[in-house]
Amino acid sequence: MAERQAPACFVSYSWDDDIHKGWVRRLAADLQANGIAVILDQWELQAGDDAAAFMDSAIHQCRSVLLVCTPAFKSKADTRAGNVGYETSVITGEMLTGINHPRKFIPILRSGDPATALPSYLASKIYVDFRDNHRYHQKLIEVLRVLHSKPEYSRNLLGPSPFSARGSIVEVGSAISEALFTTPQPSKANFEIEFYWGYRPHAHSDLRQAILSCESELFVSGVTLTTVSQVLNDPEVTDYIANRISADYRFRPILVMLEDATHPRSRERGGQQLGEKLRISRGALSEFNFALENRVRGDIPRPLVDFRVYGENTDPRHFFLKVDDIIYVGSYLSHQRGSYSYLMKIRNLGDRLYELFNAEIDHILGDSRPISLDT
């Protein structure tokens, strides 16, 4: 059976600043990772390319166009200024001819409010509100449902007339109300939990996407942080973290790992082999820290990253990653080569499971000490 062709989507936005460009790039990467063939100028255009031909082709050929709306985007669109203005002319021309499907042009409200950020030609369209960074995942799913044509709610099948030979009166409203009282589901209302599991190479992409979604808090703890150290040295990840630190000097990633050959768990978990992994990981983290130093301006307080090692009262069993209000817990289901691993994702502050893992992170912070990677 032939595979279904991935929906194609063009992203239109204004180059407000580097942070905004990074956010758009992150959104595009998340869409691409979830089955959408994204066309983004940052990925496609190089010196010497024809920007006008690129925009024309992308808008006409893609099934959907996401328009990331900010006050700067509205200003350029309404005055037909720059590339945004050119795209506006192409889009409004296509809308006028009626050759596109009704949901082709999808506004995303990133900053400002509808009156100050939505161009006049989008004023009557329903937008997706991405202004709250803590609701990014929820809004991403909302966009994905539109792009994949998979609405959250579908129309019920048409039943027969209750007065026909087969019909009888069905009280749907009563059944729903009764179910809400007799079968409460607080877990669905209070938190969200997801599992990702697969062969180890998948861990790199999972962790990379999680870190690139970080806005205000980044905490990582593990035994050697081997995989994390590789992900952090990805230039896009390094740039993203450097931009976050530059935007808010209070943002400081925390990374906790075993100290080489001194913690009791070092001797339990493989001796010399584990020591070599720790040496390699610390070297990679040093490279990451050096790269940050070169990217973040000098007036930002140092250290830029809080590197820490476990105290003797902490027995690391799992990998923890906390990104804003989401906690990821990971481990391996088996120590056999090629076996499956898992990454559990827990969202929201109001559930007992989240509180338990958050308390574990607080314990790690209390029973760990800062180190310098130069020593």
Domains of the chain and any CATH numbers? 8-147 (3.40.50.10140), 191-370 (3.30.870.10)
What pLDDT digit, counting tens, does each position of 105-135 carry? 999 999 999 999 999 999 999 999 999 988 8
Q: What value does the mean pLDDT take over residues 46-62?
A: 93
The average pLDDT across 18-38 equals 93
Please compute the mean of the pLDDT values over residues 23-38 and round it to a whole number.
Answer: 93
The predicted model scores a pTM of 0.48
Query: 307-330 burial, b if ≥16 CB within 10 A, otherwise e?
Result: bbbbeeebebeebbbbbbbbbbbb
Indicate the pairing of strand 368-370 with strand 319-323. Answer: unpaired
Alpha-carbon span 19 to 246, nearest angstrom: 10
Q: What pLDDT sits at residue 346? A: 79
Contact 310, 262 (CB under 8 A): no
pLDDT number for residue 189: 37
pLDDT for position 55: 95
Q: What pLDDT is attached to residue 143?
A: 93
